[in-house]
Amino acid sequence: MAKKKEEQNSFEYSYKRLEEILEKLENQGEENSLEDILNYYQEGLKLLKICRQKLSEAELKIEKINAEELK
């Protein structure tokens, strides 16, 4: 469960959720209430911002791991 929050902040989560929302809007539109649609829309806008930000602001991080003794 501790991993859950980390996942939600990841690019992967945001992007996949975005695709999901688009699919929901496209395929189940007739079943969605106006409120649902507006909620999806708002979430979509938020996720778009997050995804763009993550891609444009990301700087490659490289960490060197020192050899450790293994049993």
Partner 1 sequence: MTEPITISELTRELKALVESEFKFIYVIAEISNFKRHTPSGHCYFILKDESSQINATLWSFRYNHLNFNPQDGDKVLIKGKVVLYEPRGTYQIDVTDMQKTGLGELQAAFEKLKDKLQEEGLFESERKRKLPEFPEKVGIVTSETGAVIQDFKNVTKKRYPVAKILLFPTLVQGAGSAENVCRAIRQANNAKYNLDIIVVARGGGSMEDLWTFNEEIVAREVFNSRVPVVSAIGHEPDFTICDFVADLRAPTPSAAAEMIFPDKQELLERINQIDYYIKIYIKDRVEVYYSSLENIENSYFFKKPVDMLNEYKMRTDDIQKDIERITKEKLSRVKESLLNKEKLLNSISPEQTLKRGFTYIIKDGKLISRKVKVKEGEDITVRFYDGDVKSKVESL
Q: Which long-range contacts (CB under 8 A, 24 or more apart) does 4-10 make?
A: none
Using rule CB under 8 A, residue 1 touches partner 1: no
Contact between residue 47 and residue 18 where contact means Cβ atoms under 8 Å apart: yes
Torsion angle defined by CA atoms of residues 28, 33, 35 and 36, in that order, rounded to the nearest 10 degrees: -30
* The two structure tokens encoding residue 18: 């975005």
Using rule CB under 8 A, residue 19 touches partner 1: yes
**Interface pattern 26-65 for partner 1 (x via CB under 8 A):** x--x--x-x--xx-xx--xx--x--xx-xx--xxxxxxxx
Of 8, 10, 28, 39, the one binding partner 1 by CB under 8 A: 10
CA-CA distance, 19 to 36, in Å (whole number)? 16
The residues binding partner 1 (CB under 8 A) are: 10-12, 15, 18-19, 21-22, 25-26, 29, 32, 34, 37-38, 40-41, 44-45, 48, 51-52, 54-55, 58-65, 67-68, 70
